[in-house]
């Protein structure tokens, strides 16, 4: 494990006889058994915790996490793609501490400079005419509001999203989310329609040149490759047969499943919860044109892809060469502080204002805006977008070598520091590796000090999205841990 120059406080059970109150070298808290007890009695019964014995964390520092026993872990999932610049980053901490001593809350009925300072910084990062900002508190809230904007502006109801999409778990956004785990038997999210996800690995069409990624699928196709040395990044316009087939499916949805005029289309630039699924280059550009022909607006959900994570661009939509009408963002915007935003055009903002007196008590609160400003400054000062590009590409290529080595790795994909590793029974069938086997690999990684995430319809994909401060030696460690976990798994299989 690479070195770490941070020493965590010792975690002390305050119910023990030798408990030392007010000792600053100790973190005074609950015994592990008591945590489990309280969780079972008083918290949601929905099973969300990873691992049979849930991990009890006590502290974090940059890319590192520490559990209550003092064990150190390399965090390669960053709180579900949320801790963008590192746990408890000193500059972000300082901004929060300064603001907490000045003013916590005002609501928008009074003015306080941090919201205006933040609005100026954020708007400077977006192209014209995306310059009007609505601040809210979560990704679900942001997408809720974007749905409302699309309908208010278009005067239409139907909204399209991809199968496998995740846009939130609120009653409204559940209609956009198309992952079975998040679907209910009861009606919710009316007026939403799903369309085929253009997944070039698991879908019916795809090949070895489709993705905007240093790593392509091992499927073959008859499309012409890009220029030598481009790694499949760009080909002549209109050459991707997979893209054309998926566009025909999109047209079929428009022709059969929605009204002649629609409200809009939601898309993540790269699907997150579905396992870092990338679309063929050029697909979103054509899809946006088709949506606008029907009177709809185009919404980019940047909750996981924004703020430089993809490396080559600050926003995921820029990697598709499109300009959305509405952009939603959360997670990395506040480095873990509850904060989100919807950014749109003056025209769409006015359409909403004419139809609704929109108000949000905590949206744009002083604490969130001070932290949000600090996050933007850190990304720029520490060149974290550039680091995402350099270290992310290095990491993708190293994981791609494991795909060549192990039959149970079906696909490695992604861009920058957003990577998916899809596990299969074998490369020929593409059948998902059984969940219990994926669980064991996941657990083995944790036991060796590496925390990674899960995704995919069958929870068959490992999601890797570390904070953007990650280094190449840490990537080397993570890849070696993952390889060791796979070797252990193959040995168990052989027995």
Q: How far apart are CA 197 and CA 204, in angstroms?
A: 10
pLDDT value of position 36: 95
Q: What is the DSSP string of 153-172?
A: HHS---EEEETT----SSTT
In 43-136, where does DSSP find H-type helix?
78-81, 90-100, 113-123
Sign for the pseudo-dihedral over CA of 211, 212, 216, 222: positive
Specify the 3-state DSSP secondary structure of 185: coil
pLDDT of 398 strictly over 70: yes
Summary mean pLDDT of the chain: 94
Domains of the chain: 32-88+384-494 (3.90.1150.10), 92-222+240-382 (3.40.640.10)
Kind and range of the H or E run holding 74 = strand 72-75
Q: What is the DSSP string of 386-422?
A: HHHHHHHHHHHHHHHHHHHH-TTEEEEEEETTEEEEE
Q: Are 164 and 202 in contact (CB under 8 A)?
A: no
- Banded pLDDT at 232 (limits 50, 70, 90): very low
Q: Which residues contact 16 (CB under 8 A, 6 or more apart)?
A: 31
Q: In this predicted structure, which of 15-19, 59-63, 147-151, 201-205 has the lowest mean pLDDT? A: 15-19
pLDDT value of position 233: 38
pLDDT value of position 235: 46
Stated length of the chain: 495
pLDDT value of position 222: 66
Average pLDDT, integer, range 321-348: 98
Query: Is 319 or 231 the better-scoring residue by pLDDT?
Result: 319
pLDDT of 22 strictly over 70: no
pLDDT of 21 strictly over 60: no
Q: Are 418 and 312 in contact (CB under 8 A)?
A: no
pLDDT value of position 383: 98
Cα-based distances in Å from 309 to 6, 83, 129, 382, 414: 25, 11, 23, 13, 11
Kind and range of the H or E run holding 60 = strand 57-61
Query: Is 493 or 308 the better-scoring residue by pLDDT?
Result: 308
Strand partners, 450: 74
Q: What confidence tens digit (pLDDT) does each residue in 239-282 have?
A: 789 999 999 999 999 999 999 999 999 999 999 999 999 999 99
- Banded pLDDT at 221 (limits 50, 70, 90): confident
pLDDT exceeding 70 applies to what percent of the chain?
94
Sheet of 132-136, strand order: 132-136, 340-344, 326-329, 297-301, 264-267, 159-162, 192-195
pLDDT value of position 186: 82
Q: What is the DSSP string of 294-323?
A: TT-EEEEE-TTTTTTTTSS-SSGGGGGT--
pLDDT of 119 strictly over 70: yes
Q: Are 444 and 436 in contact (CB under 8 A)?
A: no
pLDDT of 121 strictly over 80: yes
pLDDT of 308 strictly over 60: yes
Q: What confidence tens digit (pLDDT) does each residue in 169-216 have?
A: 999 999 999 998 888 888 888 999 999 999 999 999 999 999 999 999
Q: Which residues contact 2 (CB under 8 A, 6 or more apart)?
A: 74, 471, 473, 474, 477
pLDDT value of position 188: 80
Q: What confidence tens digit (pLDDT) does each residue in 460-491 have?
A: 999 999 999 999 999 999 999 999 999 999 99
Q: What confidence tens digit (pLDDT) does each residue in 329-340 have?
A: 999 999 999 999
pLDDT of 25 strictly over 70: no
pTM: 0.94
pLDDT of 110 strictly over 50: yes
Strand partners, 75: 451
Q: In this predicted structure, which of 10-19, 275-284, 321-330, 398-407 has the lowest mean pLDDT? A: 10-19
- Please tell me the chain's helix, strand, coil percentages from 3-state DSSP, rounded to the nearest 5: 35, 15, 50
pLDDT value of position 187: 80
Cα-based distances in Å from 189 to 144, 157, 193: 10, 11, 10
- Rg of the chain over CA atoms, in angstroms? 23
**Which among 55, 60, 73 has a CA at the least distance from the CA of 2?**
73
Average pLDDT, integer, range 89-117: 96
pLDDT value of position 230: 40
Crossing angle of the two packed helices 472-494 and 384-405, in degrees rounded to 10: 20
pLDDT value of position 19: 54
**Strand pairing report for 264-267 and 159-162:** parallel
Q: Which residues contact 407 (CB under 8 A, 6 or more apart)?
A: 426, 427
pLDDT value of position 20: 59
pLDDT value of position 227: 53
| CA angle in degrees (0–180, nearest 5) for 242-306-479 | 75
Q: How far apart are CA 436 and CA 458, in angstroms?
A: 11
Q: Residue 110: is it exposed, middle or buried by C-beta count within 10 angstroms (0-12/13-18/19+)?
A: exposed
């Amino acid at each position: 494990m690479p070195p770490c120059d941070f020493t965590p406080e010792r975690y002390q059970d305050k119910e023990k006889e030798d408990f030392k109150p007010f000792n600053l070298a100790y973190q005074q808290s609950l015994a592990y058994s008591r945590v489990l007890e309280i969780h079972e009695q008083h918290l949601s019964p929905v099973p969300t915790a990873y691992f049979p014995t849930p991990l009890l964390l006590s502290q974090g520092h940059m890319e590192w996490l520490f559990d209550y026993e003092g064990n150190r872990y390399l965090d390669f999932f960053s709180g579900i793609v949320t801790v963008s610049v590192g746990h408890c980053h000193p500059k972000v901490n300082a901004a929060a501490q300064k603001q907490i001593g000045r003013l916590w809350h005002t609501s928008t009925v009074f003015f306080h400079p941090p919201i205006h300072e933040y609005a100026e910084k954020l708007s400077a990062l977006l192209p014209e005419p995306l310059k009007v900002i609505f601040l809210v508190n979560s990704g679900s809230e942001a997408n809720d509001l974007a749905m409302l904007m699309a309908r208010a502006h278009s005067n239409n109801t139907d909204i399209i999203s991809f199968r496998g999409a995740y846009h939130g778990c609120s009653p409204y956004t559940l209609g956009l989310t198309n992952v079975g785990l998040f679907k209910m038997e009861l009606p919710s999210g009316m007026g939403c329609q799903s369309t085929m996800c253009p997944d070039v690995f698991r879908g019916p069409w795809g090949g070895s040149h489709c993705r905007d990624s240093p790593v392509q699928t091992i499927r073959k196709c008859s499309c012409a490759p890009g220029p030598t040395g481009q790694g499949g990044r760009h080909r002549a316009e209109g050459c991707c047969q997979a893209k054309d087939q998926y566009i025909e499916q999109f047209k079929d949805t428009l022709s059969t499943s929605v009204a002649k005029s629609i409200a809009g289309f939601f898309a993540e630039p790269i699907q997150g919860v579905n396992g870092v699924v990338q679309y063929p280059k050029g697909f979103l550009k054509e899809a946006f044109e088709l949506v606008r022909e029907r009177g709809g607006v185009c919404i980019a959900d940047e909750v996981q892809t924004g703020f430089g994570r993809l490396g080559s661009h600050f926003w995921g939509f820029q990697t598709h060469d499109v300009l959305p009408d509405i952009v939603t963002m959360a997670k990395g915007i506040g480095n873990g502080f509850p904060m989100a935003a919807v950014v749109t055009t003056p025209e769409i903002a006015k359409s909403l204002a004419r139809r609704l007196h929109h108000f949000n008590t905590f949206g744009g609160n002083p604490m969130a805006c001070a932290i949000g400003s600090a996050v933007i400054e850190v990304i720029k000062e520490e060149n974290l977008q550039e680091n995402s590009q350099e270290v992310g590409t290095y990491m993708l290529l190293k994981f791609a070598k494991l795909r060549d080595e192990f039959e149970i790795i079906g696909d490695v994909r992604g861009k920058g520091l957003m990577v998916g590793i899809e596990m299969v029974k074998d490369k020929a069938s593409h059948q998902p590796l059984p969940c219990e086997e994926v669980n064991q690999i996941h657990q083995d990684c944790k036991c060796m000090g590496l925390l990674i995430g899960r995704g995919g319809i069958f929870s068959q994909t490992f999601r890797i999205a570390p904070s953007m401060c990650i280094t190449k030696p840490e990537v080397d460690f993570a890849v070696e841990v993952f390889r060791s976990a796979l070797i252990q798994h193959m040995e168990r299989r052989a027995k």
